Structure 1
Amino acid sequence: MNASEAVYKAILDSGVDFVTSVPCANLKTVLNYLNDDKDIQHIPVTREEEGIGVCTGAYLGGRKTALLMQNSGLGNSINAIGSLVKVYKIPILIIISHRGDLKEKISAQIPMGQWTKKLLETVEIPYFSPKTPDEAYKLIKDASELSINMEYPVAILLDALYWEHDK
């Protein structure tokens, strides 16, 4: 199982049936799998806070949700996390492609890469950083369950080293 397959299969096996996403090169294959899957409703969005809002509505409508995004958009979603999901206890599995860390070639990605974990800690979102597809599969399933139990988002951070398992 490669990196993308592990993420996709874990989403399926977690019972997630509604996904929003913001385009990301690292998540491209996962997003293609989701687009082809008739059992999961996949709604691409243009901004991360929009994804938070759409997931919130889907959850309130009885769906189990996930948001897939790049960490550069985490800052965009902070207000929606604080004023919507925290207040109304909305569980969302957030799968984040963590740019701006090891092996980053685009300097503009580095500041948010350095701040991502601190931002998640500031808004009290637990996060896990799997290093292998097998570990990602397990942690995504566990994070999805934790999110439901906490009634709050839980994040999975997938860094450049993780995505090397897609090659």
Structure 2
Amino acid sequence: MQNGAQLRNVHSDRISLCLIDQKGRCHSISERLGQNDPDAGATSVTADLTTDWPRATYDALRAADVRHMAYVPDAGHSTLIRLLEADGAVVSNVLTSEEEGIAIACGSWLGGTRSVVLMQSSGVGNCINMLSLPVQARIPLLILVTMRGEWDEFNPWQVPMGRATEAALTAIGVTVHRAETGEDVVATVEQAARMAFESDQQVAVLIGQRLLGKKKW
């Protein structure tokens, strides 16, 4: 790992840091204040990307200087949403429709702020026409999509759009990457952010349903 750490978020009892390795990957470290073993002489490492990938994803977004979030409330994104909303440096917009997020993200970029749009796969179909704006204007766009209609899906209404999500985004000109593990999510979000904001591209990261866990209600 490179020397040094980047401070991402401070809570009353925890300092979350992001160590960047030689491949540019973010490794979260949590230090519990006053709870370290005095004999150990080292900070305890608690990040586990199999379960704590939302926090590491938050770290990756902030490392990419994302300071705006537009989202439709979603259980799969809930932890990431809470982390971004708790960050005083991040402005949040709750959407009534996913397509609003595309327009708001474009306006955010024109105002000098990097944005991320969070949605579920069922909302991708609402965005197709609006996506012509960033595609044709070459406005950087980063979308994180939690997938439905895949592994162990109980709701038949989620299946058609789940099947069509990747193809629909690709057809309109959005670059699509999939992530099926916590480690994949973090690494993919990091490179997707670079591609979007440094190459003026529209990039979507699809987060597999198996990682999100079984849903039943």
Per the alignment, residue 140 of structure 1 pairs with: 189
**Unmatched segments (≥5 aa) in structure 1:** none
Percent identity of equivalent pairs: 29
8 Å CA contact retained: 2:144, 2:204: yes
Q: CA deviation digits over 1:15-54, x for unaligned, max 9?
A: 1111111111111111111111111111111111100111
How far off its partner does 1:148 sit? 2.0
1:57 counterpart = 2:107: yes
Q: State how far apart, in whole Å, the 2-side matches of 1:109 and 1:50 are.
A: 21
Q: Which amino acid aligns with 1:52?
A: I
Larger Rg: 2
How far has the Cα of 1:147 moved from its partner? Answer: 1.0
Distance 1:116 1:55 in 2: 20
Counterpart residue number, 2:167: 118
Q: Secondary structure at the match of 1:17?
A: strand
Aligned to 1:74: 124
Contact 1:98 1:160 in 2 (8 A): yes
- Asked whether the 8 Å contact 1:95–1:158 carries over to 2, the reply is yes
CA contact 2:128–2:169 (8 Å) conserved in 1? no
Determine which of 136, 148, 151 is the counterpart of 1:87: 136
Letter in 1 for 2:176: Y
Q: Which structure has more helix as a fraction of its residues?
A: 1
1:96-123, Cα deviation, whole Å (9 max, x unpaired): 0111111111110000001011101101
Tell me the CA shift for residue 150 of structure 1: 3.4
Tell me if structure 1 keeps the 8 A contact 2:108–2:114: yes
- TM-score in terms of structure 2 length: 0.72
Conserved in 2, the CA contact under 8 Å of 1:100 and 1:107?
Answer: yes
Aligned AA for 2:68? F
Give the Cα–Cα distance (whole angstroms) in 2 for the partners of residues 115 and 48 of structure 1.
Answer: 16
Deviations 1:64-113 (A, max 9, x none): 1110001111111111101x111211111100011111111111000000
Q: 2:73 aligns to what? A: 23
Measure, in 2, the Cα distance between the counterparts of 1:68 and 1:51: 8
Task: Tell me how far apart the structure 2 counterparts of residues 147 and 129 of structure 1 sit (CA, whole Å).
Answer: 15
Higher strand content, 1 or 2: 2
Residue 99, structure 1, aligned to residue 99, structure 2: no
Partner residue of 2:201 out of 152, 161, 164: 152
Q: Which runs of 4+ in 1 moved over 3 A?
A: none
Root mean square deviation, CA, Å: 1.2
Q: Would the aligned equivalents of 2:135 and 2:173 in 1 still touch at CA under 8 Å?
A: no
Aligned to 2:95: 45
Contact 1:7–1:140 (8 Å) recurs in 2: yes
> Secondary structure at the residue paired with 1:26?
helix
- TM-score, normalised with respect to structure 1: 0.92
